[in-house]
Amino acid sequence: MKQIPKIGLRIIKSAVAVFLCYLFNYFRGENGIVFYSQLSVLWCIQSYISTTKQNANQRIAGTFIGAGFGLVVLLFFLLIRNAELQVGDFSMYLIKGLITSVVIIFVLYATVILNKKNASYFSCVVFLSIVVIHGGDNNPFIFTLNRVIDTMVGILIGVAVNLFHLPRKQHKEILFISGLDDTLLDSDYHLNDYCKVELNRMIEEGLNFTLSTMRPPASIIEPMADIKLKLPVIAMNGGVLYDTQSKRYLEKIEIEKKEAIEIAKFLDENNILYFANVVVDDTLLIYYNRRIGLDFDKVQTGLVNTLRKSPYRNYINRSLPSDENVVYFMLFYPTDSIEKIYSILKKEQINKFFKVLNYPSKDFPGYSYIKIFNEYASKENMIELLKRRIKPEKVITFGTIPGKYDYVVKEGDTNEVVHKMKKLFENMH
């Protein structure tokens, strides 16, 4: 059964802010219309402080633009009433409707001229609420002023409530590093909404957070697209340090050209298809020679056809050039074939001079991978390179393998990392 989500802090804050609007309106002598304050409050209560400020600015701009045009139209309607024109009710209704509709053009155009296009909707809402609901008022100035006050009260309450938090020390000196699969991502490789909101909020407030994963950068960018990562990520099992913002490979621990060619030659001689992952000028090139792998089956074909759609991967059907370093070689075969290949590699003692990983595929049952790295390519070594860049006082890691991480996370509990990180970062007990 699908788990029912908990009531979040944003919902609680919204309810508190709505109630405060009632209180403020009472102490104003109930001269305002609390509904307008509450609309502004709900618009300003957002998950992120930056969004709250942005929405507040939009609402303020929209209020003044709409109120200005609304006041002009109310004064014009008052002039018409005072003129006591001899027209029928229906004709007067149409005249007001036509004037209102024409002025909407000027309201929208004003937001363009003033470079406040994001406030166009709110300008129209304020304008119509003044003109349509209060077109018959005898004192347009008082109502328009109250309408502006109502909105500004709501904005101030909304921003104040959203910014409020109990005093707490945030540990910006700690570097937090989390795994990805079975740690932050669920079985469908998705990051849930709670994790997105809390991670972005903490990063915005100064959390030093990054990822460490076997995935290449292309496989990180998609599931983490909504996370505003500021630090580079450790990818390819510690083979690279990648900046997701600038799309640059900042550090690489590669297999040198001479050794890479020897490995490629050995695999070719044994008729083993490989994918050589090479970084050239911050571009990932993946060389593979389909003619070598005579048993290149539909699953292998499907893997290539699926992955090559990414703009961050570039597949090239040719042998590895002799002048390229290699981040890692990847072999992808049915599991029984992989076991035989792994035995061949061990016999040739390749695993003594290089880091060789052998593990089953989650996406393709019955198939497995072998990946060959530089012997020094590791999460631990890349963390040291990252520490030289940002100089944290302490590093805390999260993962699913006991003994390899500071905090071991139960597979499938995708909220656990964020829960624990939140307590450590905000010094909560």
Residue with tokens 């012997």: 375
Residue pLDDT, tens place only, 397-416: 999 888 889 999 887 777 88
Residue pLDDT, tens place only, 257-278: 999 999 999 998 998 889 999 9
**Model-level pTM greater than 0.85?**
no
Distance, in Å, from the CA atom of 216 to the CA atom of 227, rounded to the nearest integer, reads: 17
Residue pLDDT, tens place only, 51-65: 778 878 888 898 899
What pLDDT was estimated at residue 410? 84
pLDDT: which is higher, 90 or 317: 317
pLDDT: which is higher, 44 or 379: 379
Residue pLDDT, tens place only, 6-30: 677 788 888 999 999 999 888 888 8
Q: What mean pLDDT is predicted for residues 300-319?
A: 86
What pLDDT was estimated at residue 293? 47
Q: What mean pLDDT is predicted for residues 300-314?
A: 85
Residue pLDDT, tens place only, 351-402: 889 999 999 998 889 999 999 999 999 999 999 999 999 999 999 999 988 8
Residue 86 has pLDDT above 70, yes or no: no
Look at residues 57, 139, 62, 127 and name the one whose alpha carbon lies nearest to residue 99. Answer: 127
Q: What mean pLDDT is predicted for residues 184-196?
A: 85
Tell me if 52 sits within 8 A of 46, measured CB to CB: yes
Report the percentage of the chain scoring pLDDT > 90. 45
Band the pLDDT of 137: cuts 50, 70, 90: low
Residue 3 has pLDDT above 60, yes or no: no
Residue pLDDT, tens place only, 95-136: 889 999 999 999 999 999 998 888 898 899 889 988 887 656
Angle (nearest 5°) at CA 242 between 195 and 302: 80
Residue 303 has pLDDT above 90, yes or no: no
Band the pLDDT of 1: cuts 50, 70, 90: very low
Residue 428 has pLDDT above 80, yes or no: no
Residue 90 has pLDDT above 50, yes or no: yes
Q: 412: Cβ–Cβ under 8 A, 6 or more apart, which residues?
A: 182, 186, 187
What pLDDT was estimated at residue 424? 92
Q: What mean pLDDT is predicted for residues 156-171?
A: 81
Q: What mean pLDDT is predicted for residues 232-245?
A: 95
Mean pLDDT of the chain: 87
Name residue 260's amino acid: A
Band the pLDDT of 308: cuts 50, 70, 90: confident
